[in-house]
Chains A and B, each alone.
Chain A
Amino acid sequence: MSSVEEYRTKCTFCSVQDDVILKRKSNRSALFGKDSLFKLYYDEKSKRGLCPRGNFTLEILNSPYRLKQAELFGKVCSIDEAIEGCIPELKRIIKKKNNIAILVSGNHTLEEAYLVKKLSEDLNTGLLGLFPFEDEALLSVKNEFSFNDLSESDLVFAVGDVFSLSPTLAKPILDARNSKRGNRLLSLDIMKGRVSLFSHCFTVKPGYMSYFLSVLLNFLEGKSNIKLNEGAAGISAVQMEDMAEALKKSEDGQILFSNIYGHFTNPYTIVSKLSRIAEITENKFAVVPIGQNSLGVGRIIGGFNNKNIMDTLKGKKIEGLIVLGGDPFEFIPNFEDIFGYLNFVLSTSFFKSSNSTECLIPSTFSFEKKGSVISLEEKIVNLGEPISAVGDAISDGDFISKLLSKFKGVKAKAKASGAKPIPFMEGSDMKEPSSLTNKKFPFTVVGVGMPYHHSSGEITRRMKWNEQKQDPYVFINSNKIKELSLGCEVTIETVNSSSVFKIEDCSNLPFDIPEDIIAVPVHHPQSRKLFVADSGTDGIISPGAEKARIRK
């Protein structure tokens, strides 16, 4: 019997990257027994455990539905055969410049990001973008964050629902609030979230956040360019002054921004305004991306290309698409419509896609690959490869390296170094937006993180974390359900699309849903397509809240 070995690493499921002590055996299946799970997630030093999502990393690693073999034109093959089969297609496509787009996930290492950049150059394309799309807005920010500083801050100002999206940040934030009398936790969001229960909570109407922050910044700078329209924004000037006072008064405050698909309109403006507010009030500012290494990957590939990519995809101007580290049918809204005209789609993924792409490569997950990532504290963290990959699964870095050496005959090597933030684009004051709702569309649909991270059994894919809630579901205010006599299922329609959802009981939520808001967890593709993945007024892809209506 092989001995158990301790391996110190990081949970790379989200950007918080908690410490993990992995107890491994040479036998993979012996390692990931049910009980061994609890010997590896808790770090004695940081006194923090992993969040439910982090716990499920192991479920995903062990899932029987993991993709283990490559597929080329629907047939199972080896990785080398798949690469050989791809090359003629790629050579044909790249005769025309910018005829292929590459989308890379924020869960890659820095080394892989450099190789992707090299791949885009060799494929004669500038269409190289980052997903999750919502992380693109954050690439200009240099995080001023440390867990120790956060737990000693006299003010934590959370914009967005930090507790839902990064639960392990709750401990240092609550430590900060409780450590001294007078310490404050403020939250600002478009609806109440999990953090609201613990904070002095302010809400702004959906779509008005960037406008409100522009007004707040003006107020802090002593200007009077734009005045707050209290009725439209849903927040009073007195509340804004209270917020400004708290920000000015704090000596070592921390502003945290957390976004998710379909939540904030114009996230880039929000980020730039928050960054400036932090600067003039002498507080620290950090963003919490969704992807574990979105900051690193996005900065290396250059960022801000998603608008062009989505425009060319929708305009049917390209022939090929490469998606690294994800299923395009899950995260690109209405990809089924785009997929039909694309001649060649290559994707690397952990799971088999619902629809087959021309070439599908089994990819490696966290713990199965080496490399470095940028932490929330802006440090470069080297990660080892504690366990071997399943089946033929290959890291995207190795795959690109092989592809490039066959393609050009030159072996590509990755270099590991940091990545600097991309300079801020010129920002201007946000004018008051027009109301999101009207007579035809009286509701606002808002994307939220999954309110439960709870399962009663096997976890296979992200959308099935909660076994009882596999189908796409929606939260509607209970008074509104009675008023409209809604049944179990409803169709939610936006200008962009419509989807059928099951109505979920709001009484289990740790917060209330306002009467004019419909909240959809955005882990389902059906939820994502409700939001327009189009550029807002700040020039980058920003799927924010949308006007909507309910059909029985």
Chain B
Amino acid sequence: MKTKGEKRVILDVDRCISCHACDIACYESHSDKFCLSRSNFDITVDLPLHCKHCTDASCVAVCPVEALEKREDGLVYHNNFRCIGCLSCTIACPFGVLTAKRIRHIISKCDLCYDMLDEGKDPRCVQTCTSGALSFEEITYEEESERDRVDARIKAKPWRRL
């Protein structure tokens, strides 16, 4: 369960106009690295995909050199200096957010612009979003409990597809 106060980047797919402003904001501020992936599951949809900073992050578990770590504030942080570019995390990521597109031999990963968070501001992709599709919102207990309820239903009737 996520602790109260943790925030995540939320994408409203009904608002994204695929203008790529978030990509540019991310690219320019992360030393010319693309840390956002793009969806490619439908030709008419071109959406930014963010790291979900999972509670039990499988990328952290598989990293052989502990380059990925889960911080106290919930952020899954990628240490560029430790990363050896083995790409285990890209296989482990259940959302396909960490891609095998390597730049400088290491993976690129969303760090939620923690320097901005320290200043009390939202991540850059959220700030630059032209259509208001991206927001930086707190994960609440209500949402968690709803998710738990869904999980419980899946466990009770595993043959049902939701």
Contact = CB atoms under 8 A, between A and B. Distances in A.
A10 to B, nearest CB: 16
Contacts of B45: 510
The binding surface of chain B is classed by DSSP as loop
Contacts of B44: 197, 510-512
Contact of B20 (A42, A49, A52, A198): A52
Interface string A430-468: 000000000000000000000011111100000000000
A283 to B, nearest CB: 23
Contacts of B20: 52, 452-454
B147 interface: no
Contact of A163 (B17, B34, B128, B132): B17
Contacts of A50: 21, 128, 130
B18 to A, nearest CB: 5
B65 interface: no
Contact of A51 (B14, B18, B21, B132): B21
Interface residues of A, number: 37
Contact of A35 (B29, B129, B132): B29
Interface in A495-550: 507-512
Given A167-B19, A197-B44, A510-B17, A38 B131 contact: no
Given A34-B29, A55-B25, A453-B20, A49 B128 contact: yes
Contacts of A167: 17, 19, 21, 130-131
Contacts of B127: 38, 41-42, 49
B130 A455 contact: no
Contacts of A80: none
A34 B124 CA distance: 13
A34 B132 contact: no
Nearest to A170: B131
Contacts of A509: 43
A170 B25 contact: no
A34 B28 contact: yes
Nearest to A51: B130
Given A52-B19, A52-B24, A41 B43 contact: no
A194 B18 contact: yes
A42 B128 contact: yes
B148 to A, nearest CB: 29
A174 B132 contact: yes
Nearest to A48: B130
A171 interface: yes
A170 B17 contact: yes
Interface in A15-56: 34-35, 37-38, 41-42, 47-52, 55
Nearest to B121: A42
Contacts of B29: 34-35, 37-38
Contacts of A48: 130
A511 B45 CA distance: 9
Interface string B46-75: 100000000000000000000000000000
B15 interface: yes
Contacts of B132: 47, 170-171, 174-175
A164 B138 CA distance: 31
B32 interface: yes
Interface residues of B, number: 28
Given A168-B130, A508-B46, A51 B27 contact: no
Interface in B122-154: 124, 127-132
A198 B132 CA distance: 14
B21 to A, nearest CB: 5
A52 B21 contact: yes
Contacts of A453: 19-21, 24
Interface in A153-186: 163, 167-168, 170-171, 174-175, 178
Contacts of B18: 194, 510
Nearest to B125: A49
B37 to A, nearest CB: 14
A170 B128 contact: no
A38 B46 contact: no
A117 B117 CA distance: 51
A524 B44 CA distance: 25
A194 B17 contact: yes
Nearest to B115: A35
A37 B32 CA distance: 13
A49 B131 contact: no
Given A37-B28, A52-B21, A198-B17, A170 B46 contact: no
B20 to A, nearest CB: 4
A257 to B, nearest CB: 18
Given A194-B18, A507-B43, A510-B18, A454 B130 contact: no
A215 to B, nearest CB: 30
Contacts of B32: 456-457
B17 A38 contact: no
A200 to B, nearest CB: 14
A38 B124 contact: yes
A35 B45 CA distance: 29
Contacts of A163: 17, 19, 131
Contact of B128 (A38, A175, A454, A457): A38
B121 to A, nearest CB: 8
Contacts of A178: 14
A454 B24 contact: yes
Contacts of A456: 27, 32, 34
A101 B12 CA distance: 50
Interface in A183-240: 194-195, 197-198
A55 to B, nearest CB: 6
A49 B24 contact: no
A456 B17 CA distance: 20
10 residue pairs, one from A and one from B, having the closest CB atoms: A49-B128, A170-B131, A167-B130, A42-B127, A171-B132, A167-B19, A454-B20, A510-B18, A507-B43, A168-B130
12 contacts: A38-B128, A41-B128, A42-B128, A51-B21, A55-B21, A163-B19, A171-B132, A174-B131, A452-B20, A453-B20, A508-B43, A512-B44
Given A49-B130, A456-B27, 10 more contacts: A38-B29, A42-B128, A49-B25, A50-B128, A51-B21, A55-B28, A171-B131, A171-B132, A453-B20, A456-B32
Interface of A: 34-35, 37-38, 41-42, 47-52, 55, 163, 167-168, 170-171, 174-175, 178, 194-195, 197-198, 452-457, 507-512
Interface of B: 14-15, 17-21, 23-25, 27-29, 31-32, 34, 43-46, 116, 124, 127-132
